[in-house]
Amino acid sequence: MFIRLLFWFILFYLLLKFIIRILIPVVMATKDVKSKMKDINENMSDFQSSGQTSANSEPFTKSQSKATSAKGDYIDFEEIK
């Protein structure tokens, strides 16, 4: 009878220890990550919606990119060993 009670006490202790040290922090971290991802997605959608209005006002053309790339200087580089 005492051995059975001791066995259940040890089993309960190990289960409680597992829940407190491993399971609860994992659940809390998962909730935290989900809330951060939700915030990031909301910020991204807000940024994209505000970016679409400003992108429509100034369209990017190929002539602008050619003009800036033709003005660049040649930079000589040395291989580092």
C-alpha span between 26 and 39 (Å, rounded) = 20
What's the pLDDT at 68? 53
pLDDT (tens digit per residue) in 16-29? 999 899 989 999 99
Nearest to 41 by CA among 53, 49, 29, 31: 49
User: 């659940």: which residue's tokens?
Assistant: 27
User: 């580089």: which residue's tokens?
Assistant: 77
Does the model's pTM come out above 0.85?
A: no
